Structure 1
Amino acid sequence: MTETAHRSISREQAAIEQALTEELVASFAHAEDRRLRQLMGALTRHLHAFIREVRLTEHEWNTAIAFLTEAGQITDDRRQEYILLSDVLGASMQTIAVNNEAVYGASSATEATVFGPFFTEDAPEIPIGGDIAGGAHGQPCWVEGTVTDTEGNPVPGARIEVWEADDEGFYDVQYSDGRVAGRARLASDAQGRYAFWGLTPTPYPIPHDGPVGRMLAATGRSPVRAAHLHFMVTAPKLRTLVTHIFVKDDPQIAIGDSVFGVKDSLIKEFHTQAAGAPTPDGRRLEGDWSRTRFDIVLAPADA
């Protein structure tokens, strides 16, 4: 698309355009659901303002419709192109910011970040100290920490769901053989502690062979995500946390995360251990491995 030069319009033309916006907003006045009425009115005002600001051409609008159509066509039960679109436009992170206001107590609540398109409901359950890798390739990594509330009280029995890509940059659901790997769920113990074996995260590109990937390429943006490990943590009377942790020495952090998920508080040291170094649980490993700590603080449910 070519850039349309900004130009002034007549007072009469501006009035015509404004009248259409007002007519559209008014058309939702009889919606019984007040929140729906608010959402549709605001959406209409902002969409019309965008069209008027950039003087959108009919060709550009048709191109946008074709883009959205293709995004729907490529979406299936393994791939959600609209989540990718939401993520790369920062809409996911902005929604998370709005819905997860900072909470402070004896400790600050752990910051939330994007959910991503690769979570599944049926991850296998493992005990504390179990292995989530499930045969996925990568450097073994020992992850440990605690789950507490913002007053420092341990949270026993918190449900901790974790998932990650292998060292090729793929999640299990991106393979066609039905494997379950790189994901599991476990529960914190009576003192709020948890631990598991996973893989040291590595950077990888989001799926970029579809319309979202072409958009990134056209705008000169990288599809690569900073190395990360996903967490979702739930417990009664506490706010569900969806977050990641990131690898401190990952150069992609400085380049930029394609979905804007990195927050300073979520960048953690992953300490490499030499081959043969004793492991926390006595596991014998042939090669090197890493370890990290992630202490999770959950906000009150009503915060």
Structure 2
Amino acid sequence: MTMQNSGDSLTPEVLTGMVTQSFAGTPDDRLRKVISSLVRHLHGFVRDIEPTLVEWQEGIDFLTAVGQKCDAVRQEFVLLSDVLGISMLVETINDLDAPGATDSTVLGPFHMTESPVRRLGESIDMLGSGIPLLVTGSVRAVTGAPIPYATVDVWQCNEDGFYDVQQPDLQPAGNGRGLFTADSQGRFWFFTVTPSHYPIPTDGPVGKLLSATSRHPFRPGHIHMIAQADGFRELTTHIFVPDSPYLDSDAVFAVKKSLVGEFARATEDESARFEVEIESPVARVELVLSPESEAHPATGLGAVDR
């Protein structure tokens, strides 16, 4: 296969065809499909906006800055994916394969540290500075059957809108985080504080992008959850605080009506079972998992040397 072409016949369309053809021998079918589509759409984008060389360099500099902002506790590329709606688009597409399951939503940029293993009923609020919120939940299959001993990983910001990794001098590592194992009936419960709405980090290139486009950076209050069990598809979701500001304009487009939580007051039964006062705040959660199914095989790009 020749890759040469005379300058006077190298049109943008011809170039796109040449680059696409260069990947035709890719052994992995999925990778070949992904990279070919990527080339076609990126070339189409460039033909559409016709960037100057200065603009092209600015784009390279922006992506470089995004990568440089990533570290062990901050994932700026995830944040970029979030504010462009790509994260939610991926989640929404994949939800089509999980009818009847709890809606998924974005992972977010702060699931970068392991949650400490905690006992059922333990508090993830290590500061004890706010009004305790009891969170009770269950994990079940789409058939309605409980899923015993499922794991539920939770993480959230505090009442002031900050995650532990954002305030290492004020919050102990692991504050607002916990890894719980449900009981034999798929039930789990823990204590926390009601998380505040908050701005996503704006001290990096993604923040500059939002500023340049006059977009606000705020997210409504929420608790992140990942539920896992053998034989079931992993679920990444939120429970949103009802009446929180920005439910209708989440900066990362992650709000779904089905995920706005049931925040109420403890009943007599809950008071007795969880040893809380009647009328104290309770958030009730139901996580429904779909059976594990075959997804597209990995492209293998994750193994590329960095």
TM-score over 0.5 for the pair: yes
- Report the residue type matching 1:39 in the other structure: V
Question: Is residue 2:73 matched to residue 1:78?
Answer: yes
Contact 1:201 1:228 in 2 (8 A): yes
Contact 1:245 1:268 in 2 (8 A): yes
Per the TM alignment, residue 252 of structure 1 is displaced from its structure 2 partner at its CA by 1.1
Render the CA deviation track for 1:98-122: whole Å, top value 9, x for unaligned.
Answer: 2232534xxx210100011212453
- Pair 279,181 (structure 1): closer, same or farther in 2 beyond 3 Å: farther
* Residues in 1 aligned to 2:126 and 2:272: alpha-carbon distance in whole angstroms: 19
Which residue pairs with 1:248 in the alignment?
242
- Report the residue type matching 2:148 in the other structure: P
- Pair 46,120 (structure 1): closer, same or farther in 2 beyond 3 Å: closer
- Report the residue type matching 2:16 in the other structure: T
- Pair 284,293 (structure 1): closer, same or farther in 2 beyond 3 Å: closer
Render the CA deviation track for 1:101-153: whole Å, top value 9, x for unaligned.
Answer: 2534xxx2101000112124532222221111122644321111211100000
Per the TM alignment, residue 209 of structure 1 is displaced from its structure 2 partner at its CA by 1.0
Question: Is residue 2:305 matched to residue 1:299?
Answer: no
Contact 2:72 2:112 in 1 (8 A): no
- Pair 280,220 (structure 1): closer, same or farther in 2 beyond 3 Å: farther
Which residue pairs with 1:3 in the alignment?
none
Which residue pairs with 1:172 in the alignment?
164
- Report the residue type matching 2:287 in the other structure: I
- Report the residue type matching 1:149 in the other structure: A
Question: Is residue 2:54 matched to residue 1:63?
Answer: no
Contact 1:136 1:182 in 2 (8 A): no
- Report the residue type matching 1:37 in the other structure: R
* Residues in 2 aligned to 1:25 and 1:102: alpha-carbon distance in whole angstroms: 30
Per the TM alignment, residue 281 of structure 1 is displaced from its structure 2 partner at its CA by 2.1
- Pair 145,176 (structure 1): closer, same or farther in 2 beyond 3 Å: closer
* Residues in 2 aligned to 1:111 and 1:14: alpha-carbon distance in whole angstroms: 50
Contact 2:120 2:181 in 1 (8 A): yes
SS at match of 2:190: strand
* Residues in 2 aligned to 1:161 and 1:248: alpha-carbon distance in whole angstroms: 21
Which residue pairs with 2:262 in the alignment?
269
- Pair 137,48 (structure 1): closer, same or farther in 2 beyond 3 Å: farther
- Pair 279,61 (structure 1): closer, same or farther in 2 beyond 3 Å: farther
After TM superposition, the structure 1 = structure 2 runs for residues 91-106 of structure 1, keeping only pairs within 5 Å, are 91-101=86-96, 103-104=98-99
Greater displacement, 239-248 / 28-37: 28-37
- Report the residue type matching 1:290 in the other structure: P
Render the CA deviation track for 1:63-89: whole Å, top value 9, x for unaligned.
Answer: 111111111222211211111101111
Question: Is residue 2:253 matched to residue 1:260?
Answer: yes
Contact 1:137 1:166 in 2 (8 A): no
Contact 1:136 1:181 in 2 (8 A): no
* Residues in 2 aligned to 1:209 and 1:136: alpha-carbon distance in whole angstroms: 29
Per the TM alignment, residue 162 of structure 1 is displaced from its structure 2 partner at its CA by 0.4
Per the TM alignment, residue 238 of structure 1 is displaced from its structure 2 partner at its CA by 0.5
**Aligned length in residues:** 282
Question: Is residue 2:140 matched to residue 1:115?
Answer: no
- Report the residue type matching 1:297 in the other structure: V
- Report the residue type matching 2:289 in the other structure: L
Contact 2:73 2:113 in 1 (8 A): no
After TM superposition, the structure 1 = structure 2 runs for residues 1-303 of structure 1, keeping only pairs within 5 Å, are 16-101=11-96, 103-104=98-99, 108-120=100-112, 122-135=114-127, 137-177=129-169, 179-254=173-248, 256-271=249-264, 281-283=274-276, 290-302=281-293
SS at match of 1:184: strand
Identity within the alignment, %:
41
Per the TM alignment, residue 278 of structure 1 is displaced from its structure 2 partner at its CA by 5.4
* Residues in 2 aligned to 1:102 and 1:196: alpha-carbon distance in whole angstroms: 30
